[in-house]
Amino acid sequence: MSKRVFLDNAATTPMAPQIIDLISEMMKTHFANPSSIHSYGRESKIVVEKARKKIANILNTSPGSIFFTSGGTEADNMAIKCAIHDHKITHAITSKISHHAVLYPLEDLEKEGTIKLSYVDIDENGVVDLNHLDELLQANPRTFVSIMHANNEIGTIQDINAIGDICKEHKAIFHSDTVQTMAHFPFNMQELNVDFMAASAHKFHGPKGVGFVYISEDIQIKPLLRGGGQERNMRAGTENIYGIAALAKAMEMAYENMEEETTYIKGLKKYMIEKLQSEIEDVQFYGKCTDLDDSLYTVLSCNFPERDDSEMLMFNLDILGVACSGGSACSSGSSKGSHVLTSIVPDSMRPGVRFSFSKYNTKEDIDFTIDKLKELFS
């Protein structure tokens, strides 16, 4: 097989070998339903609760604040729909570059007449205008605020500490989509004024189909999914035991090696920025993604000179053996342009590419990618 490189780690990450081994072993030994009261069921229940406690310890919070879900999208929907409904919220704030897992449910609630939806101003880098956020909160009744920690397309990081403090001052409910930053950045929930956060295991070398929602003990909501009463009556459905165990293990591995892996991945990103700038004429970068200390270090979002076949850039790179994304991977197969890029560079016709890295990438992967780009743009 010809050489291929995977630079689409913001879309998903390859599972760590230790995680594959853990899942394989768990499937043999812990097959019982955790809700069953016999010994097999109790053993499965112990696995779930140990995983919950492990995650809570990492985030410096109570195990009672962690609820397992099918992933980040469910976690976001649960936070948004349940908080707004159960707390009788009539006004919500988000930004136009939020993930569709946030935008779509909020837009649906607006169409139903449940809420008025406001969009906080952002600058050319996608950074939230905190003064405008404060003004919106002052001018409206109690509000639900949803601001993602780091944007999945351009890597812009928001100051969720400051946003959380502003929300607390106005008694607003604050939800942050942390899918791109969980297990990549440290979190101390004793110091953050955040009511809801979302996580998905496949973003940090765990399996797909499992994640969790953090819910502050100060917030009470009813479940989004009703049924068997699992997750202390907060999320019905038989628990994904193997996925939950793997999620906790993947998080544990990420935080144990965070400093070393962060430094390594930042080095890859810096190397690729330098290679792009020296080897590809007129390459440009979105947002603040070239700032290694003030952007999502796993993401490098850039654009290239317009060509007659600009729309074929992703396809051509794939044919040449480079897997990457044009904006958000969740919409890469769609004919629609990126809503994120439209918000910050509305008139640009230059083809945008998101390269995203993991600990399994190498400088050789970067060199290979640069060579293929040179073939296309020489």
Quote the pLDDT of residue 1.
Answer: 67
* pLDDT, average across residues 189-204: 98
Catalytic residue among 82, 167, 302, 330: 330
Quote the pLDDT of residue 12.
Answer: 98
- Domain of 242: which CATH number? 3.40.640.10
Phi, psi (deg, nearest 5) at residue 280: -115, 120
Same domain, 148 and 245: yes
- List, as one string, the DSSP characters of 132-167: HHHHHHHTSSSEEEE--SB-TTT-PBP-HHHHHHHH
Q: Is residue 305 predicted with pLDDT exceeding 80?
A: yes
CA–CA gap between residue 90 and residue 171 (Å, rounded):
14
Same domain, 345 and 209: no
- Report the percent of the chain where pLDDT is more than 90: 89
Same domain, 222 and 362: no
Quote the pLDDT of residue 338.
Answer: 86
Same domain, 178 and 323: no
CA–CA gap between residue 20 and residue 246 (Å, rounded):
8
Q: What is the pLDDT of residues 39-78, one digit of tens each?
A: 999 999 999 999 999 999 999 999 999 999 999 999 999 9
* pLDDT, average across residues 222-248: 95
Q: Which helix (H) or strand (E) holds 5?
A: strand 5-6
CA–CA gap between residue 176 and residue 189 (Å, rounded):
13
Where among 237, 256, 275 does a domain terminate?
Answer: 256
Q: Is residue 2 predicted with pLDDT exceeding 90?
A: no
* pLDDT, average across residues 181-191: 98
* pLDDT, average across residues 81-87: 98
Q: Is residue 297 predicted with pLDDT exceeding 60?
A: yes
CA–CA gap between residue 137 and residue 118 (Å, rounded):
10
CA distance to 4, 69, 194, 245, 352, per residue, from 252 (Å) = 29, 18, 22, 11, 34
Q: Is residue 231 predicted with pLDDT exceeding 50?
A: yes
- 302 Cβ contact partners less than 8 Å away, ≥ 6 residues apart: 276, 283, 284, 285, 286, 289, 352, 353, 355
Number of domains observed in the structure of the chain: 2
CA–CA gap between residue 184 and residue 140 (Å, rounded):
35
Same domain, 242 and 307: no
Q: What is the pLDDT of residues 133-168, one digit of tens each?
A: 999 999 999 999 999 999 999 999 999 999 999 999
Same domain, 287 and 175: no
Where among 207, 224, 256 does a domain terminate?
Answer: 256
Same domain, 248 and 293: no
* pLDDT, average across residues 74-85: 98
Same domain, 211 and 300: no
Where among 198, 226, 256 does a domain terminate?
Answer: 256
Lowest mean pLDDT among 178-187, 291-300, 324-333: 324-333
Quote the pLDDT of residue 74.
Answer: 98
User: Which structural domain range is residue 173 located in?
Assistant: 17-256
- List, as one string, the DSSP characters of 108-141: HHHHTTS-EEEE--B-TT--B-HHHHHHHHHTSS
* Locus of tokens 């003990």: 217
- Domain of 355: which CATH number? 3.90.1150.10
Same domain, 86 and 210: yes
Same domain, 251 and 128: yes
Same domain, 213 and 329: no
* Locus of tokens 């995977």: 6
Quote the pLDDT of residue 335.
Answer: 52
Q: Is residue 330 predicted with pLDDT exceeding 70?
A: no
pLDDT band for 349, please (50, 70, 90 cuts).
confident
Look over the chain and give the mean of its residue pLDDT values, rounded to a whole number: 94
Same domain, 77 and 151: yes
Quote the pLDDT of residue 135.
Answer: 98
Catalytic site includes residue 330: yes
Radius of gyration, alpha carbons of the chain: 21
Show the tokens assigned to 326. 């044009």
pLDDT band for 308, please (50, 70, 90 cuts).
confident
Ramachandran region, residue 237 (left: φ > 0; alpha: ψ -120 to 50; beta: rest) = left
Q: Is residue 243 predicted with pLDDT exceeding 70?
A: yes
